[in-house]
Chain A
Amino acid sequence: MADAVHMTNTAASAIPTKRAFGPTLRALLRDPKVIIGGGFILVLIVLAIFAPWIAPHDPLEQDLMLGLYPPAWMQGAEPGYWLGTDDLGRDVLSRFIFGTRIALTVAFASAIIAAVVGTLVGLLAGYFGGWVDAVVSRLIETWMAFPAVLLSILIVAILGSGVHSVIFAIAIIDWTRFARVVRAETQAQRNADYVTAGRVLGFNDFRILAGEILPNVLWTVLGLFTLELGLAVVIEAILSFVGLSVSSDTPTWGGMIAQGRTIIYQAWWVFALPLVGLFATVLAFNQLGEGLRRTLDPVMQR
């Protein structure tokens, strides 16, 4: 009897009822990519949320007397303006900090929408095949034939400037990226024996898609998602570079780069610093994605 109880207890402890967070969280926090990438993004998020309290100055406040001051480590810097000022006397650091709001909002919102839509479509097309797949494949092919950036510029130009149109523009183009990959993976899994095993056990299509295939696909989606976050930040910067993003008073990294380009010989920091920030952000997203996959995906741990 005690033997049976012992067996049951071991069995009980080993069947996951809910994801065991403890050990995985610890493993996550030990991975260098997760720490560095995730840490950077976390800092950006904090900056974005608490911008009004963290930024030393009002990003919109102009003071022509304080124009073109260099960053703090150079000669002739004005105290209190750590990264210098632009030609209108606005604090570069504060504008950068406020710029993270737009960058991150657009990045997360558009990446989430693109991922959800693309994954759903890819799953259905990959699993059911037939006419569903034919329609979806043609749709994706035609969609991808359009040059992405030009299409997004077109969409924003039609819908008018604003965060929502930028998000919409990016999501509506990039969903195909997810759809294609998810479709391919689903197709590959559809023929795997464990899907047949599921069918033999009596699972219906929905259960197989949701219970067997989707959890495996999610790992690839995660990798794509972090990639997409970086991409979305860049596209937003491009859009604001050409002035098609949000309204022109709200500080954006792209806007700062555009503006900095015109005064690059007098104040290179206005151009360079947001560029560096952009680069670091994309890198951070990629590293975070890789680190997450490495620590969490059982398949990767072989």
Chain B
Amino acid sequence: MADNLLVETRDLVVEFGQKRSFLGRQAQPLRVLKGVNVGIGRGEIVGIVGESGSGKTTLGRALLGLQPATGGAMLFEGKPLSQFPGGEIALRRHMQMIFQDPMSSLNPRQTIGTILSKPILLHGIAPDKATALMRIAEVLDRVGLPQVVLGRYPHELSGGQRQRVGIARAVMLRPSFVLADEIVSGQDVSTQARVLQLLKELCAEIGMSMAFISHDLSVIRALCHRVYVLNGGVVVEEGECEKVFANPQHAYTRALIDAIPLPIVSQDWLETTAA
């Protein structure tokens, strides 16, 4: 494992359901992550792929420190998240998140302008109001949104526009790491392509690392340098996308790849299943 990893987990274990019921009986804890090692280097876009129940969402939240670990460590720049100099607020300056459902991740009673000015105001990254406004205008322009959306409410925007607002909010602070959790699922192919292209460009421009969680291997192929395949709370395979896709080692990875229908007509895709 390289020493210059930006974000890491080491033997991460996450369990749920440890509440004691009223009568003192303990519910059986659910082990969602069973010793996971992932690492994201500077400037890398890493994919985390898994089906439902694989634990990928929990892993994403753990990377950001939103999910406490039952065992193992979560590190940023080599230090445990809890010991980051400057505390939580300083950490948040460097780690951001883009959400799957832009409708629920934008406060419905706040205008886009309010939503986008909050990160700037909180972290005080602009010395005065004029600079703050310039920054917001810049970011809006960069993600391809017209300036008029600032006065609108989330429900007045289209789904694609809301997604861009989510992206704008995440990159406003120019963080070094961004988590994208299933952000293109359910989108039209064209919207998806635009979002993926935008993310790729932003990562290169700002020098951001990204952990891209998805169930869609094809999307990960388009966007990511490396990939972790998660199944049942364990990483079953990892490596550079090119290698993993060309020569998958684990049976699960093979099954996953095999299950993807390509947009070419083949006579036997339905009949055959990967060994």
State yes or no: do A and B touch (Cβ within 8 Å). Answer: yes
In the complex, what's the smallest C-beta–C-beta distance from B149 to chain A, in angstroms? 8
Indicate whether A2 reaches chain B with its CB closer than 8 angstroms: no
> Are the C-beta atoms of B97 and A197 separated by less than 8 Å?
yes
> Are the C-beta atoms of B104 and A194 separated by less than 8 Å?
yes
> Are the C-beta atoms of A14 and B113 separated by less than 8 Å?
yes
Total CB contacts across the A-B interface at under 8 A: 107
- Bound: A11/B149 CA distance, A: 9
A203: chain B residues within 8 A (beta carbon):
118, 122
| Interface positions of B (Cβ within 8 A of A) | 64, 66, 88-89, 91-93, 95-97, 99-101, 104-111, 113-114, 117-119, 122-123, 129-130, 133-134, 136-138, 140-141, 147-148, 150-151, 153, 155, 169, 173
A249: chain B residues within 8 A (beta carbon):
none
B108: chain A residues within 8 A (beta carbon):
216, 298-299
Most chain A CB within 10 A, of B88, B89, B92, B147, is at B147
> Are the C-beta atoms of A202 and B89 separated by less than 8 Å?
yes
> Are the C-beta atoms of A202 and B122 separated by less than 8 Å?
yes
B93: chain A residues within 8 A (beta carbon):
202
Q: Smallest CB-CB separation from A200: which chain B residue? A: B97
> Are the C-beta atoms of B111 and A196 separated by less than 8 Å?
no
Contact A11:B105 (CB < 8 A) given known A4-B134, A201-B118, A202-B122: no
> Are the C-beta atoms of A16 and B113 separated by less than 8 Å?
yes
Q: Of A8, A15, A197, A302, which is within 8 A of B105 by CB?
A: A197
Indicate whether A10 reaches chain B with its CB closer than 8 angstroms: yes
Contact A193:B99 (CB < 8 A) given known A4-B134, A202-B92: yes
Q: Smallest CB-CB separation from B105: which chain A residue? A: A193
Contact A12:B133 (CB < 8 A) given known A200-B66, A200-B96, A202-B88: yes
> Are the C-beta atoms of A11 and B122 separated by less than 8 Å?
no
Contact residues, A198-253 vs B (CB, 8 A): 198-204, 207, 211-212, 215-216, 219
Indicate whether A192 reaches chain B with its CB closer than 8 angstroms: yes
> Are the C-beta atoms of A11 and B92 separated by less than 8 Å?
no
Contact A192:B104 (CB < 8 A) given known A11-B133, A12-B133: yes
7 closest Cβ contacts across the A-B interface? A202-B92, A14-B150, A193-B105, A7-B137, A14-B151, A15-B113, A10-B147
Indicate whether A63 reaches chain B with its CB closer than 8 angstroms: no
Q: Of B66, B106, B123, B138, which is within 8 A of A199 by CB?
A: B66
A58: chain B residues within 8 A (beta carbon):
none
Indicate whether A31 reaches chain B with its CB closer than 8 angstroms: no
Contact A15:B114 (CB < 8 A) given known A196-B66, A215-B109: yes
> Are the C-beta atoms of A16 and B96 separated by less than 8 Å?
no
- Bound: A204/B112 CA distance, A: 21
In the complex, what's the smallest C-beta–C-beta distance from B118 to chain A, in angstroms? 6
A194: chain B residues within 8 A (beta carbon):
104-107
Q: Of B105, B107, B123, B140, which is within 8 A of A202 by CB?
A: B123
> Are the C-beta atoms of B136 and A11 separated by less than 8 Å?
yes
In the complex, what's the smallest C-beta–C-beta distance from A39 to chain B, in angstroms? 27
- Bound: A10/B64 CA distance, A: 34
B96: chain A residues within 8 A (beta carbon):
200-201
A215: chain B residues within 8 A (beta carbon):
109-110
In the complex, what's the smallest C-beta–C-beta distance from B124 to chain A, in angstroms? 11
Q: Smallest CB-CB separation from A213: which chain B residue? A: B107
> Are the C-beta atoms of A11 and B155 separated by less than 8 Å?
no
Indicate whether A141 reaches chain B with its CB closer than 8 angstroms: no
Contact residues, A1-28 vs B (CB, 8 A): 4, 7-8, 10-16
A143-171 CB contact bits vs B (8 Å, 1 = yes)? 00000000000000000000000000000
A211: chain B residues within 8 A (beta carbon):
118
